Structure 1
Amino acid sequence: MTPSSRDASTMTAPRFLTRRALLDAGWTDRRLAAAVADGRLRKPRPNAYLPPWVPADTIDACALGGRLTCVSELARRGVFVLDQSTLHVHLHDNRRRPPVLSRPVRRHWDRLRRMPPPGATSVEAFDAVLQAIRCQPPRAAVATLDSALHLGVLHPDDLDELFRQLPRRHAVLRKLIDPRAESGPETLVRLMLRSLGAKFDVQVRIHGVGRVDFVVDGWLIVECDSEAFHSTWEDQRRDRRRDQAAAALGYVTYRPIAEDIMWRPEEVRAALAGLLRARGRGRR
């Protein structure tokens, strides 16, 4: 990789280049200094150069003498994590005084199970998932596992090894995994429905309506709405017409928004419980 070339996918972590490697590639110290000065290169720490397009999280991790890891690395790869407010860094260079950042930093010193290549600015996906399970509450950990498997960041064959490396108390999480979930909020709603003892199917295709996230007890459709796919009036018109078509078939539709699912789960769970109780009263 040259300093001006960009990876085709966020799945591939950028690698930093050393001064020696750049000199061997035809750069001079004067050109390096000029490129750093005008922003064509980033120099987060001595003897480490990165392209200018590298995300801020990666630059900060490199400046701290480490690699991006845990929820920060998974978020870079597009995997669902509940909270990204803290930067997670796996440290491998503690010989220098790191810069002070304006946000919280969680430092990881765990032994890596899969060693990244030289110059890597991120840990391997397996180690990032392993750390994210331990760093998050159980419901968020299940959502991360679902997302990592759904996106192919984690392979199903890795699950045996993954859970062998985790404390035994995490074994219960494996029974809750379902990589059919297409978003983190879907996983979180699925866990709510399980806790309510409801019978449900996921990713159900209904003739005249289309595919829906959940059908609960054969009558309640639950759709997990996010801003990314439901923010415009055109999106809302489409959704309401789908709900109207479902109502004509005898379905009731509930659309909790992703923000409430993630940060006000008790309210969403109460709404689900209320709908299921109302149906039960109607039958009696």
Structure 2
Amino acid sequence: MRTVVEEVAWYGKVARRKDLMARGCTEWQIRKAVSEGQLRRIDRGYYALPDADPLDVRLALHQARRTCFTKAEQLGLWIIKAPAMPHVAAAHGRPVPGCVVHKVKGPQTLMDILRQCVKCGSEVDGLAVMESAVVLGLCTIPELRVAFAGREDARARATIDMIDPQSMSIAETVARYYLKKDGLNVQGQYYVKDVGHLDLLVEGVLCVETDGEQFHNTPQGWAEDLRRDNLLVIKGQWCLRIPARVVLGRPDVMLGWVRQALAMICSAPKPSANPAHRVAA
């Protein structure tokens, strides 16, 4: 059983008393943690760890807490672009300065957060968040189907159908979404012998790698990319490397590059299957 401090940390370092009590904490545990300096009471019914984010503390003073994409980002889920204003949950439903308020009563589950994201964002925003929840092991696709079985969940169910649990990054997920929406056949995590898995295979002929700076802008990442690219050339495999910032910020540019590459592949002369013809040429 987790301590009250661990429970508060689980909620994002600020938690409501009623939520802590619902999780099995007792009044005595909460008072003891406060008296020992492990927690601080910041408002009626709200407690925080000493290193809590100032935003969470400010929200607690308004009887509010993170929700929707703002909470999803805090949980480490994939967010294409953080909302211009924090999305917050408040049972009172009153305005909170500088925030988008969702009227929410009671504790929030992961499924509640995902449902809010699907309703608030675009289709691709919802896909990125839901797919990351599966990829990160926070839930399974069958669990999502059970949670979103209601009449009002048709949009969420359509999004669940698009989830690929093998996706390795938000850039891969977003690229796959736009390529499929453009009518292209797309396979995720395509394996090439001696090279390894590539992010996407488009129309069975063009590999697409969506490069994020975190893993590719390092000496080791650069050397590995060169090795893989050289082997792809040797094997006669076409491949595009598209920066993640382009995929996430300018999907139209990505689609243009892919379409141009496919046109080049289609127009490239094909070697004759007859050896005699190759000699004559």
TM range (shorter): 0.7 to 0.9
CA distance in 2, matches of 1:279, 1:270: 14
- Counterpart of 2:52 (choices 36, 51, 54) is 54
* 8 Å CA contact 1:89, 1:108 repeated in 2: yes
CA–CA distance in structure 2, aligned partners of residues 11 and 248 of structure 1: 50
Q: Distance in 1 between matches of 2:226 and 2:134?
A: 31
The separation in 1 between residues aligned to 2:171 and 2:79, in whole angstroms, is 10
* 1:272 equivalenced with 2:258 (yes/no): yes
Classify 1:231/1:43 alpha carbon distance in 2 versus 1 (closer, same or farther; 3 Å). Answer: farther
Instruction: Tell whether 2:254 aligns with 1:260.
Output: no
1:81 Cα deviation (Å)? 1.6
Q: Separation in 2 of the partners of 1:209 and 1:17?
A: 53
Q: CA RMSD in A?
A: 3.2
Note the C-alpha offset of 1:108: 0.4
Say if 2:150 is the partner of 1:151. Answer: no
Work out the CA distance in 2 between the residues paired with 1:236 and 1:27.
48
Partner letter of residue 91 of structure 2? H
- What's 1:105 paired with? 99
Aligned runs of 1:240-255 on 2, under 5 Å? 240-255=226-241
Deviation at 1:248, TM superposition (A): 0.9
- The reply to whether residue 162 of structure 1 matches residue 148 of structure 2 is yes
- The structure with more radius of gyration: 2
8 Å Cα contact 1:57/1:87 also seen in 2: no
Per-residue deviation, 1:163: 4.9
Assess if the C-alpha contact under 8 Å between 1:42 and 1:49 holds in 2.
yes
Give the alignment partner of residue 182 of structure 1, picking from 143, 168, 172: 168
Instruction: Quickly say closer, same or farther: Cα 1:194–1:64, change in 2 above 3 A.
Output: same
Answer 1 or 2: which has greater helix percent. 2
Pair 1:204 & 2:202 matched: no
Q: In the alignment, is the contact (CA less than 8 A) between 2:72 and 2:113 conserved in 1? A: yes
The reply to whether residue 193 of structure 1 matches residue 179 of structure 2 is yes
Task: Tell me how far apart the structure 2 counterparts of residues 173 and 276 of structure 1 sit (CA, whole Å).
Answer: 28
Q: Which amino acid aligns with 2:244?
A: A
Question: Runs of 5+ in structure 2 lacking a partner?
Answer: 19-25, 271-281
- From 207, 216, 223, give the equivalent of 2:202: 216
Instruction: Go from structure 1 to structure 2 and tell me whether the alpha carbon gap of 1:207 and 1:169 turns closer, same or farther (over 3 Å shift).
Output: closer
Question: 1:73 is matched with which residue?
Answer: 71
Report if the CA contact (8 A) 2:111-2:147 is conserved. Answer: no
Separation in 2, partners of 1:89, 1:242:
45
- One-letter code aligned to 1:138: E
Q: Does the aligned pair in 2 maintain the 1:57–1:72 contact within 8 Å?
A: no
Instruction: Indicate whether 1:87 and 2:90 are aligned.
Output: no
In the aligned structure 2, how far is the partner of 1:238 from the partner of 1:141? 32
CA shift digits 1:65-117 (9 cap, x unpaired) = 1232111121121111222233111112469x96x4xxx4111015x6xx52x
Give the conservation status (yes or no) of the 8 Å contact 1:89–1:106.
yes
- Structural mapping, 1:3-42, within 5 Å: 5-6=5-6, 13-14=12-13, 15-16=15-16, 21=27, 25-26=31-32, 41-42=39-40
Please name the residue that 2:279 is paired with: none
3-state DSSP class of the match of 1:255? strand
**Residue 119 (structure 1) aligns with:** none
CA gap of 1:130–1:270, structure 2 versus 1, over 3 A, is same
Query: Secondary structure of the equivalent of 1:256?
Result: strand
CA distance change for structure 1 residues 195 and 283 in 2, over 3 Å: closer, same or farther? farther
Q: Give the drift of 1:45.
A: 2.6
Aligned match of 1:282: 268
Kindly tell me the number of residue pairs found equivalent between the two proteins.
259
Distance 1:27 1:126 in 2: 30
2:62 counterpart residue number: 64
Contact 2:93 2:102 in 1 (8 A): no
- How many angstroms does 1:247 deviate by? 1.3
